[in-house]
Structure 1
Amino acid sequence: MCTAFQLADFERESLIAEHRFYVEQARTRLLSQFANIEAEAELAEQEHWDRSGESFDPERHDPGDLAEAARDHGVQFYQLLGDMHDRTRLSVVAGMYHHWDKSFRRFLIRELRWPRLVIGDHTRRTLWKLDSIKLELFLRALGLDVRKFASFPRLDAMRLVVNVFKHGEGPSLDDLRQNYPEFLRKQTYAWGFSDDTDMLVSDEQVDTFAAAIETFWQELPSELTFEEDSELDVPKDFEKAWHKDQA
């Protein structure tokens, strides 16, 4: 048997602690800033009304029109802050996902040098470039099926959410709509068409994403071994890269 990787307890704890710090600070420094947007919108409406009163001329201005303009300003202020809150949540999720993904790939690249699976620039760079599906196939060839992890469904949903946030419409939006419709607003228009602007992540869903990453690090085995003389059914991209490095 050959060891693919080993994850020491102290490293597992360090990865989890780093993740928890990010989540806690994101809640405190970013998401908490939107706790009182209703009150802020009311204040914005009042300030708009007050400014209108400074130049009020009863012969030229209708108080009703000014009041309506102030209300419209407050509503717009609330909507814009709400949109910013949504984008901030998605930015937090994207930062959380990308950091987890890079940390895991960096861990694999470091460990897979020992069984001589990562042997040079080509194999190292290929492990960075493999998409999530090919990375799953690579790990399955080594005997690790991450789809069996309890954390996998939330991590898969998070991957799709981040892709839609970054790229807009495309295959990830289709997959999200089919597999995780809870991240899309219910359609309220007759023609039944939706796009990436219908994607919405709540504070509670941010928490479930955060919990999924922590659970992943807990589920990752302390040691992964494979048959040394077996022919690994790795993705063609990695196989080609390995032969290039070998040459």
Structure 2
Amino acid sequence: MREPDRVFLQMWGQTREYLIANHEFYVAEAKRRLLDQFDEGTLKADADRHADEWLAARGQNFDPDRDDPADDYEQSYHEGIAFYQGLVGLRETTRLSIIAGMFHEWEKQVRDWLGKELGHHGYGKHAHAAVWSVKLDELFDLFEKCGWNVRALGFFEQLHRCQLATNVYKHGNGPSFEALKTKAPDLVGKDTDLPAFFVSALEYTALNVTNDDLSRFAEAITAFWRELPENIFFSQVADVPKWLERAFRKERAGKA
């Protein structure tokens, strides 16, 4: 890996702008076409309408000798509350789906870009397969071994929070949820008034992200593409991770 003055990884300007524009389009349209349909006023109006419709339907079978109208009005109120809570749950799921789709698309684009860049140097199917099979953290390791200290940059905390939230939404309880409780307890409902043992007892259903979280996650992805160096030279590569070195050995063995 001691080949000075040759570009190892390159982020071409037009590619960078395309990736950012595509990402920002996704976020803007997802908010407009999906989340904006769940504003609080609309949810309450829909719940009230559902309660009225339930009461009207119940009234068609009302028997004054047997039924108490007060019971029907009370039940219609509860029906409206249940409908409202269902819509709120749907809004939360929709928001998480948007975040997960956004994160996974970004991750695929990072792997695709990196695999193509390695291909420019004649690293073939083994290197390409390795890029697509290793964990995301191992790609960050590669960037840091290339002199780009991505984990030290301002956007990385939000990017990592997005990764954890996406994993919890996808897998439920597990390592990502345990990490989330430690590194981002606010995303599982923790506030300053709750004791620590309360957080430790939570399950994945406590995951709660807001529109502000979505915006911060989206901005972190934009910042990643903005700050990715235009050129990383061979002379900057101090070492390669073991997973990539293994792929290179397979490439060399295949050619031999």
1:194 to 182, 198, 202: 202
Please state if 1:172 is matched with 2:176: yes
**Contact map agreement 1:3 1:115 (CA 8 A) in 2:** no
Letter in 2 for 1:105: R
1:66 to 66, 72, 84: 72
Letter in 2 for 1:241: A
Please state if 1:150 is matched with 2:157: no
**Contact map agreement 2:181 2:188 (CA 8 A) in 1:** yes
1:243 to 216, 240, 249: 249
Instruction: State the secondary structure of the residue aligned to 1:112.
Output: helix
Q: Write out the 4+ residue segments of structure 1 that deviate beyond 6 Å after TM superposition.
A: none
Partner of 1:232: 239
1:28 to 20, 25, 32: 32
1:76 to 58, 74, 82: 82
Q: TM-score, normalised by structure 2?
A: 0.89
Letter in 1 for 2:219: A
**Contact map agreement 1:141 1:233 (CA 8 A) in 2:** yes
Partner of 2:221: 213
Can you give the 5+ residue segments of structure 1 that lack an aligned partner in the other structure?
none
RMSD: 1.9
Q: TM-score, normalised by structure 1?
A: 0.92
Distance in 1, matches of 2:121 and 2:147, equals: 14
Distance in 2, matches of 1:126 and 1:233, equals: 13
Task: Give the aligned length.
Answer: 243
Distance in 2, matches of 1:49 and 1:204, equals: 37
Q: Give 1:105 shift.
A: 1.2
Distance in 2, matches of 1:22 and 1:49, equals: 41
Q: Give 1:43 shift.
A: 0.9
Instruction: State the secondary structure of the residue aligned to 1:71.
Output: helix
2:18 to 6, 14, 18: 14
Please state if 1:120 is matched with 2:128: no
Distance in 1, matches of 2:152 and 2:118, equals: 22
Distance in 1, matches of 2:181 and 2:133, equals: 26
Can you give the 5+ residue segments of structure 2 that lack an aligned partner in the other structure?
none
**Contact map agreement 2:119 2:128 (CA 8 A) in 1:** no
**Contact map agreement 1:143 1:225 (CA 8 A) in 2:** no
**Contact map agreement 2:95 2:211 (CA 8 A) in 1:** yes
**Contact map agreement 1:143 1:226 (CA 8 A) in 2:** no
Q: Deviations over 1:86-111 (max 9, x none)?
A: 01000000000011111111111111
Distance in 2, matches of 1:244 and 1:151, equals: 35
Please state if 1:108 is matched with 2:108: no
Q: Give 1:231 shift.
A: 6.6
Distance in 1, matches of 2:244 and 2:71, equals: 67
Distance in 2, matches of 1:209 and 1:194, equals: 23
